[in-house]
Structure 1
Amino acid sequence: MQLRSLTICAIVFFTAGLAVASFAGFREFIPGLLQGALITIQITIGGCILAVIMALVAAIAKMYGPWPLRWLAIAYIEVFRGTSALVQLFWLFFVLPHFGILLEPLTVAIAALGLNVGAYGAEVVRGAVAAVPRGQWEASVALNMPRNLALRRIILPQAFIAMIPPWGNLFIELLKATALVSLITISDLTFKAQQMNQTTFRTVEIFTIVLIMYLAISILITVGMRALETVAARGMARGR
């Protein structure tokens, strides 16, 4: 029922944005805003995938890896949590070319946001894994199960459910951070809105529509994560 309500809200907000744009005489700008929204969604999806991968790798390395990997994971987490996402974005875009590394703006955007959110996600993964009852580890040892197999078959599946709610928050934070990529010449939703505002000076209408679009996308993320949480909980219940 809650998922249905959130889905309806997302549809209503997105439709409201299109309606406001149409009534305000901005119908001709809708394709541009939708094109920008598509770029925003693409960066969000790519950044989320990279964030999850980096978080899992960094958390497992920090907790169970040999000391070189452990210190490398700690350095990654602290550097990307302790510095500004905007500075990280600029560093990858403007500094890496001085070392002969040239990346496309879209690649830089996905990498910067994914690495930044992945550092926060690593602590989410670590906390979820640490919260699994110690008896699960003891049972795997009693079965003579190697640590890697125990992590993959017993520990991580149980920790996965606890990770989902905070990961939903991180994904929404990543979505909002995509507005920064307009500063490295990417025509995302914010960039398109700024362009239209400079040519039409209809600030209220344009940024109200953009606000509704961001809200609709964030609600869709929430719906997806709630659905994933429900499926995971049912799977765990069947496993028990």
Structure 2
Amino acid sequence: MDFFEDWPQYFQVVGNWSERLLEGIWTTVQLTLLGGAAALVVSLVLGLAAGSLSIWLRLPARVLIEFFRGISLLVLLFWLMFVLPLFWMHYDVPLPAPQEHTFALGVAALGINYGAYAAEAVRASLTTVPKAQWEATTALSMSWPHKMRRIIFPQAWALMLPSLTNLWVHLLKGSAIVYLVPGVNDFTAELNNLRRPTDIWFSHAFIGLVVYFILALVLTLFMQMLEARAKHRLGRGPSLREILSPKPKTAPYEASASPKQPAAGGAS
């Protein structure tokens, strides 16, 4: 196709823009990591509250989860950026202006929105833990923090990690919306700048596609390692060292499943 003819010189432009592109990638990575950490905190708080037996905890948590899952991330971002300051100015709240902390607003919007989605994964994972485990902690008179930390949450953690992996990858891609906020030059913002000396096919459909794919792949592999570690600690799978070892692994059942050889000198 004709637009491939100019790509050799476009790669030279990428070399000149490499510093700006790397800064944009680093900003995207920061948004993903900090937004993911904020989403994890929000999901744990809302998920534990939504699974509580107390209606005074469960009802407000359900309202918050459904509200923040139901609104657009872009609308939430603009609300934090432009609407929230109106309340602060009206009630003379002594807080810094959001326009001076646009990066923090982006992290907060990502954490709240995706944390509401992840809260359902936390609640569902807690309910998936066998009822006998809950009854055993009650029989042992364990306190709520103690049984959650030692018995219930380690099992739920291994169950919720696949869902959290999907949501974190979605958060990585959703972080591209934050470039609309002034002062946040993430990777998508730098791709828009790269489009001017090149074209949209090269900047977005090639450079952007490849880089976002690599970031998502690294993130997925990291979360899969966490999942393998969590399952191994519960005795449900091999350790990371065994998974990463180049030596072939023999399944425990292979030795017992193989037919026994007749003893030498035995009767035919």
Aligning the two structures, in what range does the TM-score lie when normalised by the shorter sequence? 0.7 to 0.9
Q: Would you say 1:166 and 2:153 are equivalent positions? A: no
Q: Would you say 1:182 and 2:179 are equivalent positions? A: yes
Query: Alpha-carbon deviations, 1:62-88, whole Å to 9, x = none?
Result: 222643333321121011101111101
Tell me if structure 1 keeps the 8 A contact 2:125–2:156: yes
SS of structure 1 residue aligned to 2:171: helix
Tell me if structure 1 keeps the 8 A contact 2:51–2:126: no
Matches of 1:80 and 1:65, distance apart in 2: 22
**1:75 matched residue in structure 2:** 63
Shift >4 Å, 4+ stretches: 20-23
Q: 1:214 aligns with which of 209, 212, 215?
A: 212
Q: Which has the higher contact order (CA 8 A, sep 6+)?
A: 1
- Which amino acid in structure 1 is aligned with residue 163 of structure 2? P
Q: 2:194 aligns with which of 173, 193, 196?
A: 196
**2:242 matched residue in structure 1:** none
Matches of 2:225 and 2:125, distance apart in 1: 19
Gaps of 5+ in 1: 1-19
Q: 1:149 aligns with which of 134, 146, 149?
A: 146
Matches of 1:54 and 1:172, distance apart in 2: 17
Gaps of 5+ in 2: 1-6, 89-94, 237-268
**1:24 matched residue in structure 2:** 11
**2:39 matched residue in structure 1:** 51
TM-score (norm 1): 0.86
**2:263 matched residue in structure 1:** none
SS of structure 1 residue aligned to 2:193: helix
Q: Would you say 1:37 and 2:35 are equivalent positions? A: no
Q: 2:137 aligns with which of 117, 140, 154?
A: 140
1:23 shift after superposition: 6.8
**1:9 matched residue in structure 2:** none
Q: Which stretch of the first structure deviates more once superposed, 59-68 or 169-178?
A: 59-68
1:217 shift after superposition: 0.4
**1:62 matched residue in structure 2:** 50
Tell me if structure 2 keeps the 8 A contact 1:21–1:30: no
Tell me if structure 1 keeps the 8 A contact 2:10–2:198: no
1:21 shift after superposition: 8.3
SS of structure 2 residue aligned to 1:90: helix
Matches of 1:124 and 1:22, distance apart in 2: 47
* Rg comparison, structure with higher value: 2
1:24 shift after superposition: 2.3
TM-score (norm 2): 0.77
**1:17 matched residue in structure 2:** none
Query: Alpha-carbon deviations, 1:34-71, whole Å to 9, x = none?
Result: 11010000010001001111101101112226433333
Aligned residues: 219
Higher helix proportion (structure 1 or 2)? 1
The percentage of aligned residue pairs carrying the same residue is 37
1:204 shift after superposition: 1.9
Matches of 1:69 and 1:108, distance apart in 2: 27
